[in-house]
Amino acid sequence: MGSCFLLSTPSLLAVFFFFSLFLVGNTSFHGAGVFASFTSFATIHTTKNTDGAEVLLKWKSTFDNHSQSLLFSWHGDNPCSFTGVTCDDFGAIAHLNLSYLGLRGTLDGLDFSRLTSVVSFELANNSIFGSIPSNIGNLSKLNSLHLCFNELSGDIPPSIGMLESLHYLDLRANNLSGHIPWEIGRLDSLLELGFSRNKFTGPIPASLGNLGSLIHLYLLKNQLSGPIPASLGKLGNLTELRISHNNIVGSLPREISHLRNLKSLFLQQNQLSGPIPSEIGRLTALVELDLSNNNINGSIPHSIGNLTSLSFLDLEENGLSGPIPSEIGRLAALVKLDLSNNNINGSIPHSIGNLTSLSFLDLEENGLSGPIPSKIGRLAALDELDLSNNNINGSIPHSIGNLTSLSFLDLEENGLSGPIPSEIGRLAALDELDLSNNNINGSIPHSIGNLTSLSFLYLEENGLLGPIPLEIGRLATLFELWLSNNKINGSIPHSIGNLTSNVPIEMGLLSHLEKLNLASNNLSGYIPMQLGSCKHLLSLNLSRNKIQGSIPPEIGNTQVLEDLDLSYNILSKNIPSELAELRNLQFLNISHNSLFGSIPHSFGDMLSLISIDVSYNDLEGPLPNVKAFNEAPFEAIQHNKGFCGNVVGLPKCNSIGNKKHNLHVEARIIVILILSFLGFLLLSGTLIVLGIINHHRRRIMKRENNEWANDLDFKSIVSYDGKVFYDRIVEATKGFDSMYYVGEGAYGIVYKAEISEGQTFAIKQTSSSQEDSEIIDLIPFEREIQALTNIRHRNIVKFYGFCFHAQCCFLVYEYMERGSLRTILNNDERAREFQWDKRVNVVRGVADALSYMHHECSPSLLHRDLTSNNILLDINYEARVSDFGTARLLRPDSSNWTAIAGTIGYIAPELAYSTVPTEKCDVYSFGVVALETIMGKHPGDHISWEYSSSAQTESMMLKDVLDQRLSPSGLGLRDAQDVVLIAKLAFECLQANPRLRPTMGQVSRELRFQVPLDMPLSTVSLEQLRILNVKRIGAFQEMVRFQDFICYCAWVFIMMMIAF
């Protein structure tokens, strides 16, 4: 029995040792001795096993009930079977990994002195509180200690310096305080040290300079003070140094130039002073440098031009002076350059035109002078350009029209002169344009109407003249329009009320305008009644012009209006009672006009009013009994014909004259009531007759329901003759001829339709059976449509509206010339034209679109069905995401929708057990699409590689799974790095556990600014990508939680059943 028990122990090495000695033994006595020795050996390790189980079970008993239930496998005397425990070949506990389990408890109940064989202790992302026990120093073999993202407090015990085998020490994101112990400097094997996001105070210990093996040092977001110790210059292997968001003082030590392997240096948000040492130019490996928000002064050293690997340079919010060195033009890899909010002077160097990779350039709030160099037009990748609040003069260069990727252009508060160049109309991706507070003259160019993605247009405080161009009405997504304080004349174009370009109004495209400021010009004519169509208008300022006529009652339709200023014009006639419908109005100024009559009594219901000014008119009668009027200063009502009310200086309204006035009003009310009653009787009779006629007509129409051409009962967001637009669709597609067929998606057939010259749309025709017609409730349907038309992003297909009929529904989208991503990847010839740089740009575009939907829309939007079939490409291979929200629009109550939210092959595994899609479901689908883009086909089995990592899969090289039609071996260095980064991020997005997936915001940022991976494509294997993911999220991926694995199996089973 004893020998059977011994052989059942997990010590394979001991078994081998026993049989080896037994076979070479010469005498039975010798064999017996060996057997006895082996028995003793195994018994010792069995005792250690039992001892480890006792320690862990005692620690478990200190946790709360929920945490204990998570460790359900912790029972018995064999800890090697416990969740998160791995034993060595001798049966002793070697690895303890309990990260991401949601445990709550302390470390006080864990006897570290009895766990001396532990090599790694992983407890990240839990709710462990209390202090770190001093006996943790007994873990003499410890190689890795991860306690990050918990609630630990107190000091770091000095005994931590006894862990001389430690390679990784991560205590980030806790509540630890006190000084960093100098004993840390004894850990000379340390590769990574993470103390960020705590409450450490005091200086950075100079002993950290002894950590000669250190590669990563994270001390950001603490309360550290004192200077940066010069001893850090001895860390020759350091690649990343982050000490930002502290109270560090003093100057940058020159010794920092010894860190020749440094790639990332982040010292922002401190109190550093003194100049940037010229020796910084020796850090030739540097990729990211952030010294922003300090007190650094002096000039930017010319040696900055030696940092030719730099892609990110941020020196904003300092006291830098002197000119921008021309050597900055040597930083060809630069993607972001921010020198804003300094005292930099001189002109913008022409060499800045060499930074052709630049996507972000911010030089605002300096003392720059001279003209904008024409070579700035060479920065074709530029997305944001801010030169505002300087002393720049001259005219805007015509070459600005070459910046076709630009989404943000701010040149305000300078001394610019000359006209606005017509080439500005080529910036089709522009979202915000600010040229305000300059000396710009001439007229507004007609080409401004080409900026159909524009949301904000600021041209105020210039010398612009001439009329407002009619083309401004094509800016359908405009939120704010400021043209005040110019010399603009003519009338206000009616098209401002539409801002719908030439798209038919029945498509439901309404104005997005929120702020309109045309004050202090020479505008004449009338206020167009079309302004009433601006349903989102918050502020309207037409003051100090020469506008005449009456206030159009349609203004009352802008029911979210908060600020209305029509003062200093020539307006006349009565104040329309419809203005009382503006229940959100806070500020009303109609002073200095020629308005007469009384203020409508219904103004008493405008409870949101804060301030009014009706002075200098010919108004009379009682003031409305509302706070804004009752508390108005006399200056706000003076110089009128005759008011009465509760304001100081006015007669009370109970005088005889006013009583007569009130009797007259009461008589009019009685007459109106009598007429209303008679009208009600007449209307009731009419409705009864119409009801009988309508019932008869419905019976006839029901018999003719299948006669398509004769039953055009179109419905849309606004009341319009839908038959006109339907006729245009039929005419443009020649009755939906196959020659106009584009493709077929999950929700209908798509046709190409050229409605009018130069305007081509994608028309998605969906069936609308009687069942669907009953399902779709038009009120929420129209709200959904309105929400979709509000979405504005360069990487999202523009949705124009809909046309709905009892048998068919049309959704109208922007037309994309190159079709879907799947179509291109499935065509060998087109796939070969789809080069690597274009594919990388497509993945970035899709990430940006999903990031916008998840993080910038309010409320956030889910796509729910992202596939390569609904990613469309324009003529320049720019990605546009489509079909978001389509399923919810067409079948809002469909049970099929909630059961499987997406397309098989792109569905996140958690939807096997949850019917509620989340943002992380979109992240998973993005991961599939990203791999599909670089592999040239659906990734298939590679999606589930986390659970089936065979030797063949692990040894597979990334270059071998890439699209072979483009010859991966011919990839350039930049594209190769981008492809490796995409593959890495894609596999992160495919984590089975949704909590481990990054957000789309994180993915988008990493794709734009993350340092590319420093490894050749030819050497990258799928296994290396898996290891990179393990390092990123911690050791949790070494152990998949039992319930997550069960959920994955359930997902695979459901997918197999569906496929079957």
Instruction: Give the annotated binding-site residues for ATP.
Output: 764
Residue 389, C-beta contacts closer than 8 angstroms, at least 6 positions apart: 364, 365, 366, 412, 413, 414
Residue 425, SS3 per DSSP: helix
- CB-CB contact of 819 with 810 (8 Å): no
What lies within 8 Å, CB to CB, of 32 at 6+ separation is none
Q: Is residue 649 classed exposed, middle or buried when 0-12, 13-18 and 19+ CB atoms within 10 A define those classes?
A: exposed
Q: What is the distance between the alpha carbons of residues 87 and 71, in angstroms, rounded to a whole number?
A: 17
Torsions phi, psi for 553 (to 5 deg): -60, -20
Longest dimension (CA), the chain: 137
Pairing of strands 273-274, 247-248: unpaired
Using DSSP, state whether 523 is helix, strand or coil.
strand
**C-alpha angle 833-838-840 in degrees, rounded to nearest 5:** 135
Q: How many helices (H) and strands (E) does the chain have?
A: 21, 53
Q: Using DSSP, state whether 55 is helix, strand or coil.
A: helix
d(CA 711, CA 723): 10
- The CA distances from residue 31 to 3, 9, 570, in Å, are 14, 21, 119
The residue length of the chain stands at 1060
Question: What kind and span of H or E run contains 621?
Answer: strand 618-622
Beta strands in 768-817 (DSSP E): 799-804, 808-814
Distance CA 717, CA 235 (A): 66
Q: Judge whether 69 and 23 are in contact, CB under 8 Å.
A: no
Q: Based on the number of CB atoms within 10 Å of its own CB, is 692 exposed (0-12), middle (13-18) or buried (19 or more)?
A: exposed
3-class SS string, 80-97: HHCCCEEECCCCCEEEEE
DSSP state, 965?
Answer: G
Tell me the DSSP string of 116-136.
TT--EEE--SSEEEEPPPGGG
Closest CA to 880 of 861, 866, 901, 896: 866
State the DSSP string of 862-892: --S---GGGEEE-TT--EEE--TTHHHHH-T
- Between the alpha carbon of residue 652 and those of residues 136, 236, 507, 619, the distances in Å are 84, 87, 53, 16
Q: In DSSP terms, which residues pair with 216 in a beta bridge?
A: 192, 240
Shortest CA distance to 994 belongs to which of 1054, 894, 912?
A: 912
737 catalytic? Reply is: no
In terms of Cβ atoms closer than 10 Å to its own Cβ (0-12, 13-18, 19+), residue 668 is: exposed
Left (φ > 0), alpha (ψ -120 to 50) or beta: where does 1048 sit?
Answer: alpha
Closest CA to 343 of 314, 364, 370, 361: 364
- Residue 80 contacts residue 1015 (beta carbons within 8 Å): no
Which of 204, 273, 201 minimizes the C-alpha distance to 235? 204
Tokens of 550: 């009456």
Question: DSSP assignment of 138-197, as one string?
Answer: G-TT--EEE--SSEEEEPPPGGGGG-TT-SEEE--SSEEEEPPPGGGGG-TT-SEEE--S
Which residue ranges make up the annotated binding site?
A: 764
Query: Of 865, 963, 975, 978, which residue is the catalytic one?
Result: 865
Query: What positions carry a catalytic annotation?
Result: 865
